[in-house]
Amino acid sequence: MTQDTPSLTLAEIAAQLGAGLQGDGERRVRGLATLRDAGPDQIAFLANRAYLKDLPETRAAAVLLHPSHADESPVPCLTLDNPYLGYAQLSRLFDPLAGREASGVHPSAVVAEDARLGEGVAIGPQAVIEAGVELGDGVVIGPGCVVGADTRIGEGSRLHANVTVYHGVSIGARVILHSGCVIGGDGFGFAHDGAGWHKIAQLGGVVLGDDVEVGSCSSIDRGALGDTVIGEDVKIDSQVQIAHNVQIGAHSALAGCVGIAGSTRVGRHCMLGGGVGLSGHLTVCDGVQVTGMSLVTNSIHEPGVYSSGTGAMENAQWRRSAVRFKQLDDIARRLQRLEKAGRDA
């Protein structure tokens, strides 16, 4: 830990989380760790019953947990009905990056004369801010970022190093874009004349709502005519591909390596597991969860959990099953003939 590491009393933490407190409120902590690894100046948390076995042996200064487990804690505890949400809030209290950015423009950055910068904006080394860009108060632009012409970025948003935002993109407040992601690149649009491909100019833009987060090396393509729209509070993991004119409703979450083809609409409060693929021009209603590695080729109109594909199995068994899969059509036809013969008898 460094001198900049926050030092907070348990009473201060309880007040900020709205948590109950059992134990010495004046005890100070300087970090956050797991039940197993926490030391006497750190706070731990219990949000999953699978780790309840580690509670009796913890050396933490205090534990954040559900009130039902408070009597089992050998150390002071903070109690919340949703300890995992409390952990999320607690983690931000000890974030070493919080509040450390100094405002101002690095001498090596290139900023267009007509760019509009709000109060407290920070622009890092080798960043490029093109003509007509508007950066809201407290925006942080990391080293090596490029923000294209006429793009707007809302207050409190942060671009980590080497993010590329193309022209004409609208980004809301408190958005986080991680390193290497690309927002507003051309959608995959080409027309074929029988001999070769002809590029279709992508004339739309991208709109990211407030509180969106996009993981490293993810791409969100601009629309062909209208905009690609990502609703507020959408969370997008790393290496996700979102094609042109896709719309994703508020509060949805996409895990790593999801791919969504063009003009598909995903509703609000949806969750797509790792490696999920959605074909183009589909509609997925609100409240849908698609489990990892599933392929969705038809619209989904009822909320619920959906899956496709087969789970991993021992190779010899999988090979036998693959052979039988190829035989299914023939087996079905033979069964139909047998049923028809039985009815005619």
Which sequence positions are flagged as catalytic? 244
DSSP string across 111-152: E-TT-EE-TT-EE-TT-EE-TT-EE-TT-EE-TT-EE-TT-E
Could you give the CA distance from residue 15 to residue 67 in angstroms, rounded to a whole number? 16
The SS3 call for residue 83 is helix
Environment class of 224 (CB within 10 Å of its CB; exposed 0-12, middle 13-18, buried 19+): buried
Give the rounded distance of the alpha carbon of 229 from its chain centre: 15
Answer whether 18's CB lies under 8 Å from 57's CB. Answer: no
What amino acid occupies position 276?
V
Beta strands in 41-194 (DSSP E): 42-45, 62-65, 77-79, 104-105, 110-111, 116-117, 122-123, 128-129, 134-135, 140-141, 146-147, 152-153, 158-159, 164-165, 170-171, 176-177, 182-185, 190-192
* Bridge-based pairing state of the strands 190-192 and 197-199: antiparallel
